[in-house]
Structure 1
Amino acid sequence: MLVICAALVFLTGLADDFIRLKPATKLIVEIALGATLLFFDYRIHWVNSVTLDMLLTLVWVVGMTNAFNLLDNMDGLCAGIALIVGAALLVDLLPGSSDSTFVSLRYLSLLLGATAGFLVYNVHPASIFMGDSGSLLIGFSFAAVTLSVGNVDTGRRDVLSIVAVPVLVLMIPIFDTTLVTVSRVLSGRSAAEGGRDHSSHRLVAIGLSERRAVAVLWLLAAIGGAIGIAIEYVNQSWAAPAAVLFLVAMVLFAAYLAGIRVYDEADVRVRERRLTPIVVNFMYKRRVAEVVLDFCLIALAYYLSYRLRFEDPEDFMKNFANFTRSLSVVLAAQLFAFFVVGVYRGTWRHFGMMDTVVVAKGVFLGVASAELVILYVYRFFSYSRTVFAIYAVLLLLAVTLSRASFRLVGEYIQRRKSTGRRVVVYGAGDGGMLAMRE
């Protein structure tokens, strides 16, 4: 059934390449093929409710099919991502022993071989092109092989691996589709229309060559796939925090790319008049996003400090109750300290040494406040001071790097621009440095 559905989606893409089908027509075909998989009991198995799981399966199949279609916007990008994703899925499926898994493995191996041969001629400058027939086939195939027939083997897999592995392995298609959709909606555009506002186009817009832009996305896809495999086969106590850290990094990367100008300003102003006040106001609520980011970083740093202090699993479980009891105290104290010292007043694009000092003040004020509260409430009984020392260092690094990320990425890309003219400014002083950075 997988092969038959894949053949039908290939024919749909082929028809679109020749006669340009309407988006609604392609969507109807994709939904019909997704429903066919559901009829043969292919499901994603993310939730216990069968009805909700069937709806999620349909969204997953249609969404992933179109995600790879949208990703086919630069030489070698879609095929390279497909090769990386397929290799990760192949490793993930290897331990399976069912007949459906064997069919998926064989089908995936054939697809990878064909994609590898195609990629040789599709890298920049490409001599052949994929078209909708190839991108729709790849997206549908990867969505289908992540589904399971019948009941999931819960003895081998848990909820984290069932949900996180496919999401991490397929992170770049999800990332690019989400970035494009949100950007177009907020700018008053149709999400179905084409445009040069994909992540690859934004990387080229800031000065990277097409080869380097594609290589960056290949690298991110490989990191996501490696973390997904680690969750499946390595100790999840370390792989799960790595996944959270990777997701946070991808959110920051999306925020950076979203700030790159890809739309005409006059056109944006006209379209913004049609947006609701809620959406317009949301675009300026960046401070709320900073607080949410810090919330995640604080919890992650505090968890990792316990992991590093109590490396033995038995010791960690003995002290885990202390972690859960004190987490709310640490979160509240740290966020309040950041607010008091002025961490939320700066601008990320101009993050400098004095901003690092402000972050350090906030970290140490928050740590001291949390320790005082724990001392008052729990008399600090069975709590480790080493944990808080490790936590302070981890949080300082995490918050500083998150704030400095925009400037670091900007300067890194500036140094490696493939466009522009190299010049030497002699004796210009600080004013010349500022002009150069602009």
Structure 2
Amino acid sequence: MKTMVRTLIAGAFYVAMFGHTASALDFEVVGTGGNQIPVAIIPFAKENTYTQLITPVVKADLNRSGLFKIVDFSPAQIPTDISQLPFDELNKRGVAVVAMGVVEPQANGVAAVKYRLIDVAKREQLDGIVLNQSATQLRRVAHKVSDRIYEKLTGDKGVFSTKIAYVLKQGKRFFLQVADADGYNPQSVVSSSEPIISPTWSADGGQIAYVSFEAKKPVVYVQSLSSGSRKAVANFKGSNSSPAFSADGSRLAVVLTQDGRSQIYSIPAQGGAARRLTQSIGIDTEPTFAPDGSIYFTSDRGGSPQIYRMGGEGGSASRVTFEGSYNVSPDVSPDGKNLAFIQNSGGRFKVAIMDFASKQVQVLTDTSHDESPSFAPNGKLILYATSQGGRGVLAAVSSDGRVKQKLTELSGDVREPAWGPFTGK
């Protein structure tokens, strides 16, 4: 669990913690927010003619957020228009908002999903759209519908259509997986008989940087998700680790030991000369870029691991965390207002969050071996790794600590999560 050591010698810990086969992650909501919005998702008309159903995916998405109370409502006659809704019955059931729709076949294997969101009390349409998609990709449409419902009812952008990355080990092989945000459709980006760690996304979601030990030492690679092509961009003398993309995707902050100790450098994202950004006598590691271009990182320069901030081009650094003797693994929220990190509290490693304006720190989790916090692109959830029953699992917690989710890989251990960005796809 020693993040500082992990950055330098990573491998043995992960060999011990991973195991078994790859399959979809299984979500379980273990805590919900207060004042849940009662929502009914009426089965989409004509969806039964397709293999993939829209309705159960939307229900699962909204239920998983912890912000909605899903009211089961399946009328004998499925309505296709607002005028057909039984508003009196919906009111009696306590439904505030109802989603409905119809799936219509189009030419060339395309399906048109017509969705509407209705305010029950006002009997007015809140939202509506027609989404055209290949009939084999209706799950993607369902996530888009969920995103629209979430945004309309909360004011925040939904993240159901985004992707997550994580590392899994099957037998003696490690897999870098990319999956939908709900854990479905996992795809292996790369596999190796040696450990893979520290995946990180480019801002456009088109590339992932990661560290692989396949060369019998840590080397940083950048890989295209569309073509699968990859390149070793940091393979300097010693250790190459902890990559982080700049916001424009033009460069990476990486941790190198080429000068004898762990320090932070900047390199072009496609490889090239390394420029040193930190000049300390301690271990500087785990860099991450904030929206304003500054870099937050972990360092023991003051005697114990703490989080520091410096400009994007390096220079002097200021200490950020002061509560406790061990604060590591920083991740800045997409709006730049909060910092997620791992704090050692009485020998228990937990996800904590700091509000930059007030400097207040709140511990968010009740687990004890947490690692690698990663903000969702809307800043409302934090994905992280933890340990349960002697194996690695992923979990998520809302930024206010009220909503908690557990993501179990049913046949193996998973670690190193990274939540992908909004892509507009």
**TM-score, normalised to structure 1's length?**
0.24
Larger radius of gyration: 1
Q: Which has the higher strand share?
A: 2
